[in-house]
Amino acid sequence: MMRIQAPPLYNRYLPADAKSVEIVLVSPRNPLNIGAAARAMANFGFQNLTVVAPYEPHWREAQSAVGAETLLQNAKRTESLAEAVAGCTLVVGTGTLTYRKAEQKVVALPALAPMVQQELGRGGRVALVFGPEKHGLTREDLSWCNMLVEIPTDPHQPSMNLGQAVAVCLYELASRAFPGPGDPPAGSPAQTSEAGLGEQPAAALSGHLDLLAGLIEETMAAAGYSPRSMQAANRHDLRLLLRRLAPSERDTRRILGLFRRILWRLQRSNRKE
């Protein structure tokens, strides 16, 4: 009896396992663009889609998700970007610098793959975040991002269709961050040494950084650090600062313990007064 073998993948770059990469669409307006993004994910082997506060309620019915209907039906829906990326250790915003001044590290798209590879190699989870079609990610959105990856476009037409932007970024990751047949696995000594990357402790989850930022803000309020009118600006700056510092999960727990003790002392002192 002749055995029928499955045909080989036409593209050796398709990742065998991209379960630790989350694609996040923030407030998309057009369901067709959501479907196109899901189709691009299916093309390059990515499975995890989160849609944050979509404009249209019937986005799961997008007809543009050809071959990715199941992926679209299984997509998560959240009301905030903070919730969408809470379980991730590396959050990457996407966009162009034409109309914004970045407050975090900026990397060119081709340079992103080694960073993703390193994060996955040490057991982390990566979120790739895309903004709404009209204006992209806001300054507030980007405060949850560790870095901004710039998609190279012509300055005369800097904006890109959402589905196309997802496809370009995922092709770049699939072709560079994931090994092909015969290549060493992502995060292996051969690849990390080639990229100049050594072993590093696990990074803190984005949700734990938010927990720490909230505790620091509460401590600042108890100490009378700044007027109430500055609280929103302080909150924004704290999110950015913690992501620039990139503490490990262990260090984050230690700092949480430190600020809990300081806050307890301040509250106790205030009660006595």
Per-domain residue ranges of the chain: 21-194, 206-272
Give the model's pLDDT for residue 50. 97
Q: What percent of the chain has pLDDT over 70?
A: 85
Residue 172 token pair:
């770049």
Q: What percent of the chain has pLDDT over 90?
A: 58
Mean pLDDT in the chain? 85
Rounded to an integer, the average pLDDT of 134-150 is 92
Confidence of residue 191 (pLDDT cuts 50, 70, 90): very low
- Determine contact, residues 206/93, Cβ cutoff 8 Å: no
Confidence of residue 193 (pLDDT cuts 50, 70, 90): very low
The pTM (predicted TM-score) of the whole model is 0.85
Give the model's pLDDT for residue 203. 93
Q: Which residues of 238-273 are buried (b: 16+ CB within 10 A; e: fewer)?
A: bbbebbeebbeeeebeebbeebeeebeebeeeeeee
Q: What is the pLDDT of residues 109-124, one digit of tens each?
A: 999 999 998 898 888 9
Q: What span, in angstroms and rounded, lies between the C-alpha atoms of 6 and 56?
A: 39
Rounded to an integer, the average pLDDT of 46-58 is 92
Q: Kindly indicate whether the domain formed by 21-194 is annotated with CATH number 1.10.260.40.
A: no
